[in-house]
A and B are shown apart, each in its own frame.
Chain A
Amino acid sequence: MTEFEAVIGMEVHAELLTASKMFCGCPTTFGAAPNTQVCPVCLGLPGSLPVPNRRAVEFVARTALALHCEISPRSIFYRKNYYYPDLPKGYQVSQYGDDPIGRNGYIEIVVGGQTRRIGIRRCHLEEDTGKLFHVSPQTSEVDYNRSGVALMEIVSEPDLRSAEEAREYLVQLRAILTYLGVCDGKMEQGSLRCEPNISVRPKGSAAFGTKTELKNLNSFRAVSRGIEYEIERQVAVIRAGGQVTQETWRWDETRQVTAPMRSKEFEQEYRYFPDPDLVPMVFTPDWVQTQQESLPELPRQKQLRFQEQYGLPAYDAQILTETRALADYFEAAAARHADAKAVSNWVMGELLGRLNAASLDISESKVTPEGLAGLLDLVANGTISGKIAKDVFEEMFVSGKAPEAIVQEKGLTQISDEGALATTLDAIIAANPKEWEALKGGKEQLTKFFVGQVMRATKGRANPQLVNDLLKQRLAS
């Protein structure tokens, strides 16, 4: 049977974190009461004139540079004309053609140990639409608070080959946007939206199959599942002798399937033309240089540095750099505790595990980097065992207390008193003569039994190394 491969391109829209809208001074606060953040410009009232937001332009240029794009020396705004109630002017101000702010860049992603470069075709600036609410069978209501909010569009080349790669692309892109502070990356709130174009073709074929566009992917999980489902659907259509038709499909989160949206009766004709109300933007090499120099360390650079500086595996580095806050947390803890791999293990394991289970962000963690480093110090210097450390961590997570205080309060310090442990061990040997004879007879797996019994008798506080040593001494005598 013919093997198929998927060809995926991603179109991502990111709402920019500007305080005011793209072409007017209306505020952009999320969740404000309907139509409280509107003015004649974003309502498209006659006679109003737009003036672009300087910061939004800088945000897009900085993103473009972080995506290794070239900056167009001259970039203009176009009108994209279509009629829909969420678009009060009857056109969306967007960019078109070969002069978007940024073009021809790439993102590096690592999937299955392979590093791949995914091309970025364009990175441009436009404006968001209003929001429609369908409240009755006859009417729709419109809130224009979002109308005119600065929106960045990032279009990739069709370089992605699986749902996993598409997801990773989005993870990396989101990380870049949040590192730059240009977008909050909240998919569930719609401030980061992604619309993949998906087609399939026989493996090895150079030609592209017919693509469909997928909408309504509101989480990373939906992105993975939706794309996987759509790939399988297209392969099934072709295997059954059918043809994929070019149309838009919608991911149905409740039913976990894709469903076709009403196919457009006419090919949309947007009649793009340069917006006469908005003058061209000209970017000098000096200005571009200033933007370039303002870029912070980006996720990919940080990943490579974490591998180099802390000797971490690529996997750890990738997880720890997904958000700037998490990376900062790790570095703060690693600065206080020498064993960086131990810090990484605890951050990725216990900390992220508990945060996820409690739906908390790293910024809300009661366990501070100092606290975590202190806990690991206690394990490293033998004050507590690794097992007890997990209990202490749990207590820290809930109460936010310092590890030393918890260990003190609960009397959890490790018992490293040889005399005390010897007494306990001897009592256990006396109580289990059969097992002791078997161990002496060479049944080595019983070592674990005796160590375990001592741990139990001391509520996990015995120093396991010392118990092992004592056991060996007694076997040798």
Chain B
Amino acid sequence: MRITSEYVGQIGRLSRLALTDAEKERLTTHLNAILAHFERLQELDTTQVPPTAHSIPMENVFRDDTPRPGLTPAEATAAAPESAEDMFVGPRIVET
């Protein structure tokens, strides 16, 4: 697979990143180099290997449904770039 500059633009948009043309070109080169490495890895025959989602052999880790206090609104919003009256504030985004 070859990544194009247009595709990088599309991924950038989905990630809400405003990429310049120069950045798109640079990332296209980088991403293609990374993919080339994966193409090498894909030469391995893995048909007999089950897909691995997790590297640690653990399962069924759960907690009881017991509520406990978390942060206060002031603590929660302390690191927010902007907040007002216990609300996080960001640029207006409306999916219409």
What total count of A-B pairs have CB within 8 Å?
137
Stretch binding the partner chain, chosen from A16-24, A302-310, A361-369: A16-24
Known: A82-B14, A141-B87, A279-B61. A19 touches B94 (CB 8 A): no
What separation, in Å, do the CA atoms of A42 and B76 have in the docked complex?
11
Known: A35-B73, A269-B11. A282 touches B59 (CB 8 A): yes
Least distance between A132 CB and chain B CB atoms (Å):
7
Residue of A nearest to B63 (CB): A51
Q: Judge whether B76 and A83 touch: CB under 8 Å.
A: no
Q: Is A296 an interface residue (CB 8 A)?
A: no
What separation, in Å, do the CA atoms of A281 and B64 have in the docked complex?
15
Least distance between B8 CB and chain A CB atoms (Å):
13
Q: Is B1 an interface residue (CB 8 A)?
A: no
Q: Judge whether B14 and A83 touch: CB under 8 Å.
A: yes
Least distance between B31 CB and chain A CB atoms (Å):
14
Does more than half of chain B's interface fall in helix, strand or loop, or is it mixed?
loop
Q: Judge whether A55 and B65 touch: CB under 8 Å.
A: yes
Q: Judge whether B56 and A279 touch: CB under 8 Å.
A: yes
Q: Judge whether A261 and B60 touch: CB under 8 Å.
A: no
Q: Which residues of B contact A42 (CB under 8 A)?
A: 70
What separation, in Å, do the CA atoms of A84 and B58 have in the docked complex?
32
Does more than half of chain A's interface fall in helix, strand or loop, or is it mixed?
loop
Q: Is B95 an interface residue (CB 8 A)?
A: yes
What separation, in Å, do the CA atoms of A56 and B72 have in the docked complex?
25
What separation, in Å, do the CA atoms of A465 and B92 have in the docked complex?
74
Q: Is B49 an interface residue (CB 8 A)?
A: no
Contact with A134, one of B64, B68, B71, B94 (Cβ below 8 angstroms): B94
Q: Is A207 an interface residue (CB 8 A)?
A: no
Q: What 1/0 flags go to B6-31 for Cβ under 8 Å of A? A: 00001101111000000000000000
Q: Judge whether A143 and B93 touch: CB under 8 Å.
A: no
Q: Is A202 an interface residue (CB 8 A)?
A: no
Q: Is A28 an interface residue (CB 8 A)?
A: yes
Residue of B nearest to A56 (CB): B65
Known: A26-B67, A28-B67, A35-B73. A141 touches B84 (CB 8 A): yes
List B residues 42-96 near A (Cβ within 8 Å). 53-56, 58-68, 70-73, 76-77, 79, 84-96
Q: Judge whether A54 and B15 touch: CB under 8 Å.
A: no
Least distance between A44 CB and chain B CB atoms (Å):
11
Q: Judge whether A137 and B92 touch: CB under 8 Å.
A: yes
Least distance between B89 CB and chain A CB atoms (Å):
5
Q: What 1/0 flags go to A235-272 for Cβ under 8 Å of B? A: 00000000000000000000000000110011011000
> Which 4 residue pairs spanning A and B have beta carbons closest together?
A39-B70, A274-B53, A54-B62, A141-B87
Query: Which residues of B come within 8 Å of A, CB atoms?
Result: 10-11, 13-16, 53-56, 58-68, 70-73, 76-77, 79, 84-96
Query: Which residues of A come within 8 Å of B, CB atoms?
Result: 18-20, 24-28, 33-40, 42-43, 45, 51-57, 74, 76, 82-85, 132-134, 136-144, 261-262, 265-266, 268-269, 274, 276, 279-282
Q: Would you mind naming 30 contact pairs between A and B with Cβ atoms under 8 Å apart?
A: A19-B66, A19-B67, A20-B65, A20-B66, A25-B63, A25-B67, A26-B68, A28-B67, A36-B72, A37-B70, A38-B76, A45-B79, A51-B63, A52-B61, A53-B62, A54-B64, A83-B16, A84-B93, A85-B88, A132-B93, A137-B92, A139-B89, A141-B84, A141-B87, A141-B89, A279-B58, A279-B60, A280-B54, A282-B59, A282-B60
